[in-house]
Amino acid sequence: MDFPLNGRSFLRELDFTNDEWASYLDLAAHLKAANKAGTEKQYLRGRRIALIFEKMSTRTRCAFEVAAFDQGAHTTYLDPSSSHVGYKESVADTARVLGRMFDGIQFRGNYQTTVEQLDEWAGVPVFNGLTDLWHPTQMLADALTMKEHSTKPLSETSFAYVGDARFNMGRSLLVSGAMLGMDVRIVAPKSLQPPADVVEVAQDRAAESGARVTVTDELDAVEGADFLHTDMWVSMGESADAWDERVALLRPYRVDEALMDRAGADVKFMHCLPAVHDSTTEIGKQVLDKYGLEGCEVSGDVFDGPRSVVFDQAENRMHTIKAVMVASLGRDA
């Protein structure tokens, strides 16, 4: 097996060429097939990987740990409160320490600048498990899921993202879709659209890949989309005060059966998760009490309905994160 991306960090989609980006999907599909067939080879045997989480996680943490286990690597988990990083010890110092003990470092946290600083100082590859600006490991899972659920190549596949598009998910979907040559429609109220520089770079990548990029506040843009994505209306790290404004702005953009039908009978629903789709969680209960909404960015019937592929998408976090680690740290097995 060849590892052309060996030694590379994984900080944001734009650090890769369009072809390199697409190559992660081929590697992930290969690793997934081998995993299912029971023929998986261990390319990470003996590798040591630190997992730093400044923010909560279910999927990303588990995906890194299970993928590392499958591949013969060891992980050490540093939770949001149990290390000195950022409080008593600088990012640069932490990076230099961990770089002496580990072969790679995953970081999830508040700021893209932190993961970039870690990368500058660690001397080993650093993987971005989500920051304010980008969620690149999620993008590989999303693209692999669309590939698996589409009868067409990605270059002929369309998706719309509706919701808060100025944060990690909206920005990343715009750029990743553009790099993969897809028909990308970002649908959000004007104040929640990605900044101009991100739209511009997505258009540059689209010119190379043949993608089509639309950024609009008009819900008509979902019509004919093969996939409909959304995300939480208030992201981790944002103030609880954001809810009033966000609910007011995004209520018309909630994904319900009517919006799904507007996209088309065969449209599939996607969400990075966690999702507020009922009132069984603490947040779900607060949203119901305060705003009279049962579920938030997506209705329960869509989330649990036959057009939802969210759990395939969640599983693919593991296969694609495995590809990220194997590409960077793999050795022939």
Question: Minimum distance between the CB of residue 128 and ligand CP, rounded to whole angstroms?
Answer: 11
257 near 299, Cβ under 8 Å? yes
106 binding partner (options ligand CP, ligand NVA, none; Cβ < 5 to 8 Å by kind): none
């007011």: which residue's tokens? 248
Distance CA 164, CA 56 (A): 20
DSSP 24-67: HHHHHHHHHHHHHHT----SSTT-EEEEEESS--SHHHHHHHHH
Interacting residues with ligand CP between 180 and 239 (CB under 6 A): none
Q: Which is nearer to ligand NVA, 58 or 155 (CB)?
A: 58
Question: Minimum distance between the CB of residue 169 and ligand NVA, rounded to whole angstroms?
Answer: 5
Contact string (CB under 6 A) for ligand NVA, positions 119-138, x = contact: -----------x--------
- Which one of 53, 64, 127, 167 is in contact with ligand NVA (CB under 6 A)? 167
Question: Minimum distance between the CB of residue 58 and ligand NVA, rounded to whole angstroms?
Answer: 9
Stretch that binds ligand NVA, among 23-31, 91-99, 165-173, 200-208 (CB under 6 A): 165-173
Distance CA 309, CA 100 (A): 41
Strand 227-230 versus strand 268-271 pairing type: parallel
Residue numbers annotated as active site: 108, 135, 138, 231, 272, 317
- Check residue 313 and report its DSSP letter: H
Q: Which is nearer to ligand CP, 211 or 234 (CB)?
A: 234
- Check residue 194 and report its DSSP letter: P
- Which one of 12, 13, 54, 57 is in contact with ligand CP (CB under 6 A)? 57
Nearest-CA neighbor of 179 among 146, 150, 154?
154
Say how many residues make up the chain: 333
**273 sits near ligand CP (criterion: CB under 6 A):** yes
Q: Which is nearer to ligand NVA, 107 or 167 (CB)?
A: 167
The SS3 call for residue 150 is coil
Interacting residues with ligand NVA between 267 and 306 (CB under 6 A): 272
Nearest-CA neighbor of 291 among 238, 231, 236, 249?
249
- Which one of 6, 33, 36, 58 is in contact with ligand CP (CB under 6 A)? 58
Q: Which is nearer to ligand CP, 31 or 275 (CB)?
A: 275
175 near 14, Cβ under 8 Å? yes
- Going from the C-alpha of 195 to that of each of 164, 190, 199, 279, 330, the distances in angstroms are 12, 10, 7, 33, 36
232 binding partner (options ligand CP, ligand NVA, none; Cβ < 5 to 8 Å by kind): ligand NVA
Stretch that binds ligand NVA, among 43-51, 84-92, 163-171, 240-248 (CB under 6 A): 163-171
- Which one of 28, 146, 179, 272 is in contact with ligand CP (CB under 6 A)? 272
- Going from the C-alpha of 144 to that of each of 30, 59, 66, 305, the distances in angstroms are 11, 16, 18, 21
Beta-sheet strand order (sheet of 212-216) = 212-216, 183-187, 158-162, 227-230, 268-271
**140 sits near ligand NVA (criterion: CB under 6 A):** no
Contact string (CB under 6 A) for ligand NVA, positions 192-231, x = contact: ---------------------------------------x
- Site residues (vs ligand CP, CB under 6 A): 57-60, 130, 138, 272-273
Judged by the rule CB under 6 A, the positions of this chain that interact with ligand NVA are 130, 167-169, 231-232, 235-236, 272
